[in-house]
Structures are given as C-alpha cells and as structure tokens.
Structure 1
Amino acid sequence: MNHAYILTLSCPDRRGIVHAVSGFLFEHGGNIEEAAQYNDPDTGLFFMRVRFACDELAPEALSSQLKTFAEPFEMNWKLHDTTQPMRTVILVSKEGHCLNDLLFRWKSGLLPLDVRAIISNHRDFYQLAASYNIPFHHLPVSAATKGQVEARQLEIIEAEGAELVVLARYMQILSNDMCKKLAGRAINIHHSFLPSFKGAKPYYQAHDRGVKLIGATAHYVTADLDEGPIIEQDVARADHSKTVEDLTAMGRDTESQVLARAVKWHSEHRVVLNGHKTVIFK
C-alpha cells in the first residue's frame, strides 16, 4: 500500500498552479486521491489541499523536493504524514463537557488525535484522565504564579511534541507571549456567538437580552482575546420560556459539537490560515 500524505499550501495566485502541483506529484510518483483549491479575490492568494499516495520517496526526500519546487511560487506549504495522528494536549478548568466529548470521540476513532496530556488548574477531571490512561497535570493558577504555570505548561506541551493544544473550556486568559508561542496550533471554544457577549457569564448576558439564538465559536488563540481566526460556529434556537439554566445546557451541547468539528478539521489538515480568517476544505 502506498504511503499517504496531505499537502497544504498558499501562495500568490497565478495561472497554472494546479497544473504545476499535479505535475510535480506525478513526476515524483504521487497519485492524487483528493484535491481542493480556492483563490481569494480580496487578498490575491491561492490555497490548496491535496491528499496523495506515494511510495517512491521517503518523507524527508519528498519535503526536500517540495522546498525547491515551492520557491518560484512563493509558497507557504506543509506536508503531513496521514499515518501519524496529531499529538494533542488539552487544557480544561472546571467544566468538562467539551473534554468528555473530545475524549469519547477520540477513543471511538472519530478524531485522528494522539492525546498526550491533560492540563488543568483544578483537580476535577484527574479520574476521567486516568480512565483514558492520559497523564493529568494539576497546575493551579494565581496572579502571582501565572508566569511560572505558563512556563510549566509550555514545558509539557513541547515535551509531548504537541502539534495541537485545545482549550476545552480552560477559563484562564493566556499571556501574549504564550499566545505567540502557540500561534496556529491552539484552538479555543468560546461559549457565545462572537462577537456578542464576550467575557464572563455570557448566558446570563444572553438571557438578559432575550436572545433567540444561542451560539458557540471555535477559533485559533491569539493575543486579541476571543478574536482569533474563526474555524467553526453554530447556533441553537431559544425563546422567551428558556431559563438561564436551559440556555446554559443548550450552549454546552453546541460548544461540544462546534469544538469537535474544529478539532477534526484541524487534525485532518483542512484549515489554512488566511490572515485573520480561515480557509476550510471540508
């Protein structure tokens, strides 16, 4: 069986890019199994995702050839080995619905992840982590210890070789330095339909405003709080009879589903950054 890869790329748009990419893969023994592309007229950028099989070159040799090929096109590109699940670290606080949902989907074979560790500022989910045989790191956070805790978090993330960090209702604001170090590989779930109802107790804010839609947003983490590139959003309908508790329960279901889809697309290398936006090849 041929080795399977996923190639994602972006570059200034011009004629012949698809032809050039497919020709390169053909010349190096690649057989395209799936391909999608998009050109953004606003930025003049071209985006592409290609899944292909190839057994003529080792990954290192293929990457070397790609580097030479990409230079004239000014391409930003990444080559991914589909046999390697994405190494992941999950951060969580005291609400575990998103964590529980992700772990169940992962163990059910629905997410191509390798969950390496769970980090929390509370002890609530150490037994859940143990039931999945995942190392659990309890790192309490205070204003005085935030710098040391983030340093330890980064140690764990780097030691595990994490390609993805999921903030599954981790209720701490990351420092600008932490956000920069995790750029493009950290996904947060926000429990409202951004940009509405930022900050604390969004469902109380939503109930007070009599909203008719409850939403959730999954986005990449940036130094701008809750304003990173959006990966996925969804809503559930509400009406005047819903209590804060009703809205919260509806929101938790929506959050879990939205975060799971965002994690799935990221781990399948379907998301490409386009400035402060994303291109998603579903």
Structure 2
Amino acid sequence: MSCQGFFTFLLFTITVWAARNLLLFAAGIPARTFFIFILFEMFETEIRRYVESHGLNAFEPKAVLFDMDGVLYDSMPNHARSWHESMAKFGLNIAPDEAYAYEGMRGVETIKLVARRQWGKELSDDEAAKMYEVKADFFRQCPKAQKMNGAEELMRKIKAGGLKIVVVTGSGQKSLLKRLIDDYSGLVTPQLMVTSFDVVHGKPNPEPYLRGLEKAGVKPNEAVVVENAPLGVRAGVAAGIFTIGVNTGPLPDKALADEGASLVFPSMAALCDAWQQIMESRYAVL
C-alpha cells in the first residue's frame, strides 16, 4: 500500500470505524490506541491478502531479505549520476531519473538493454562488461554514500526478534559490498549475501531472491523482502515472498505498488517504526 494509499485507507477506516464505535469515542478512547488499531487493520488486511492469494495457511517470517542500494545506503543518487555520465561517453543516454527504473538489474544487463533500445544492437557480455567497468570507475569517484536513516535500527530489531538478515543486491560494486559488512557489523555476513556474482539472471528475475531463500534456509512464506526499486519488487513478488516497498527515490509510490508491493513506506525510518505492528499483525491471520 502506498503512502498516499495509506492516508486514503486511514481516512476511510477512521470514518467507518467511528460511525460504528461512537460509544468508544464518547468514552474517550486514547488517540494512540486508536491509531495503533488502524495500523493493525491495514497490516492484517495486506497479510491476509498475501496468504489467501498464495494458498497458504500462515505467514511466518524467519528471515528478512534486504536490497542494498536505496535501502541500506543512500547510494542511488551516486549510481544515477554515474550511469548518466559514464554511458554518455559511449553515446548512450541514461537520464539520472531513468537509472532508478533500471535499479536492481545486473549492470551488464542494464547496458545491453539500453543499447538494444537506443542502438538496435545486441552487445556481447564482454562488450557490456567493459562499459560497466567505466561506470564502476565513475561510481568510485563519487562522494561516500551514507547509511540509510533507520536501516541499522530496523536490522537490530529484526535480529533481536530472532530473524535472519540476508542482503540481496544486483550490485557488483566490490568497494560498496566490502563496506557493507563493516558498516553493518554483526548484522550482515558474507554467508548471507547474494550479489551479481552469485546469479545468472538479475532482478526482475526471481533468481536473486530464490537464492536468498536458499542461503537462509527458508520458504517464501517464511521471508519478507524490503525493496526500493520497481524491478526489485517484481523479483520479490515473483519469488512468492511478502514484499515491502520503501520509496526512497524520485519515482511515484504507484511504481512500487503496481509491481505488487503489499505495503509501501516513505522511508526506512517509517518502516522501522511500524515493524513491530507488522510482525504482530501476522498472528491475526493464522
């Protein structure tokens, strides 16, 4: 559910609930209690829809699969600029905002796709790989991307709850992958990471998330995907996993919702704040 959809849903639910519960309002129900009720109502609805649409008996998260760029790091502006400036050297045009739409794909596949569309030509993997190295060089020269606000706190909540943490990224930026383990020390491990080097098909193919499930040793209904990119959301949904969108970029919320995200939050901090309610809401559909 998008941020805009959330407020529409919230207003509708408040109106209906108030009409049915005037006595509770007269009794002075605390505003916080009322708001928590609304959140549970929304989360239960989306979890129930997921369970029923997949023919499941339960939703029992044991692992959370995180994308990296735009989720754990505020790195997408650097990627967008790097794509635009590096590909211009080859005569390809990737507008900065357009880079967000391609996010999640393996870099080589992004280049081959854009070349196919703009040149009408099929590049070999070797040709695309050489072009990607130029993009990687541009990225390494960008300012250091900061950790996404709320991401580490959310991970600590997840770990405290006994769930595994898996990082599933289409990135092949070795410098950022190495930094990830240091910045999220005790939370992210190489054994529970899936990168562009681990898969044949990148997002939106479900292979990266299926590989993430395999590494975590869990089934689709035992996991949650956290994604900021439309193609990443599509991959998570195709893998049969309950997928949460976090809109940290310039694309509209609808771009994530249209790909099947069950919930869409405006930031990692907002998702962190709601995490406990989401986890508790699953018990209502057992």
TM-score bin (small chain): 0.3 to 0.5
Provide TM-score, normalisation by structure 2. 0.38
Higher relative contact order (CA 8 A, sep 6+): 2
Q: TM-score, normalised by structure 1?
A: 0.38
Of Structure 1 and Structure 2, which has the larger fraction of its residues in strand?
Answer: 1
* Larger relative helix fraction: 2
